[in-house]
Amino acid sequence: MGIGLLASLAAGALWALTFITPVLLPDFGAAAITASRYLVYGLLSALLLVGRPWRALLAQHWRGLLLMAWFGNLFCALLMVVAVQRTGAALTALVLGCLPVTVPLSAVLFGHKLGRARLLRRLAPALLAILGGLLLLQWPALQRGLHPDLWGLAAAFGALLSWNLYALINARYLAQHPDLPLRDWASLVGLGCLALLPSLALLLPFEPALPSAPQAWLWLLVCALLTGLGSAWGANWAWNLASSRLPMALAGQLMVSETLFVLLFSFLYEGRGPNALEAASILLVLGGVLWGVRALRPAQPAQ
């Protein structure tokens, strides 16, 4: 179990890097940051497919992999970068930190395993705690008469919705194709991301002018390598290891480590700790997530 716990923490830390890189790259737009990350991931995936029957797999699964590449990767990552740049890493992380609740909730609702009314009654305290924490984080700005960036909030919740769709569709697709090797599937999705990268060119008219300073491009290269190799490939490998060593109920709760690492990295970058209001909002959201995961856990059969 110790290896599983360490692997889950490593996955959370690597995923957290994707929230911090937009803060480190203020001179680049969302499309440029997203494209650099998935260019690295796509090239790595192509290398990993050398010697594999990738042509046959591609011919059989090209529709599915393009769908997963768009919803679970490019589109979600693009929205996340927009959210971080407009509302900050902390708020974006708290919104996406609700995934341990929203993913199983979506699965249960669409699967009709429980009555919707009963399920919502069980989850009501958790959802209220999460909502209260998110509002509390915005309270100082509201008191000063500043309104939250609605486009940034919409992007954060859009990324949450996109990842929920990806999780449900991907799980169903893998269940329908049990003989598909997971490593090959991850690499095929990376290849799909590479194929879809030109679509980001549609956003070029809305992007800021690219910087000319060599230092800015060096930072882009460093962040692309960290997120393409670490957050895309490394985090997935670590999470698969954690999932194979830990009970799923525990592994699901440990997804919260991603949010904790984002907050830790954010405060380290700003050279401070959370104030009382921020600490209270973080505790409310994380408490709500853990409460929701516990509420969604299936009852254990009597011995």
On whether the CB atoms of residues 210 and 28 are closer than 8 A, the answer is yes
pTM attached to this predicted model: 0.80
* Per-residue model confidence as pLDDT tens digits over 156-200: 999 999 988 887 787 788 778 888 877 788 888 888 999 999 999
What backbone phi and psi angles, to 5 degrees, belong to 98? -80, 0
Tokens at 258, concatenated: 């991603």
Q: How confident is the model at residue 300 (pLDDT cuts 50, 70, 90)?
A: very low
On whether the CB atoms of residues 187 and 48 are closer than 8 A, the answer is yes
* Per-residue model confidence as pLDDT tens digits over 199-228: 998 888 888 888 988 999 999 999 999 999
**54 vs 269, residue with greater confidence:** 269
Cα separation of 260 and 161, whole Å?
21
Q: Output the DSSP codes for 191-249.
A: HHHHHHGGGGGGGGGGSPPPP--HHHHHHHHHHHHIIIIIIIIIHHHHHHHHHHHS-HH
pLDDT at 301: 46
Give 34's contacts (C-beta < 8 A, 6+ positions apart).
74, 77, 78, 81, 200
Read off the pLDDT of each residue in 118-138 and give the average, rounded to a whole number: 78
Cα separation of 41 and 195, whole Å?
12
Chain position carrying tokens 């990842």: 163
Measure Cα distances from 23 to 10, 88, 165, 200, 208 in Å: 21, 8, 27, 20, 15
Give 184's contacts (C-beta < 8 A, 6+ positions apart).
49, 52, 54, 57
Tokens at 221, concatenated: 């290269």
Give percent above pLDDT 90 in the chain. Answer: 20
Q: How confident is the model at residue 302 (pLDDT cuts 50, 70, 90)?
A: very low
Region of 148 on the Ramachandran plot (φ > 0 left; ψ -120 to 50 alpha; else beta): beta
Other C-beta atoms lying within 10 Å of the C-beta of residue 97: 26
Read off the pLDDT of each residue in 108-127 and give the average, rounded to a whole number: 68
pLDDT at 294: 75
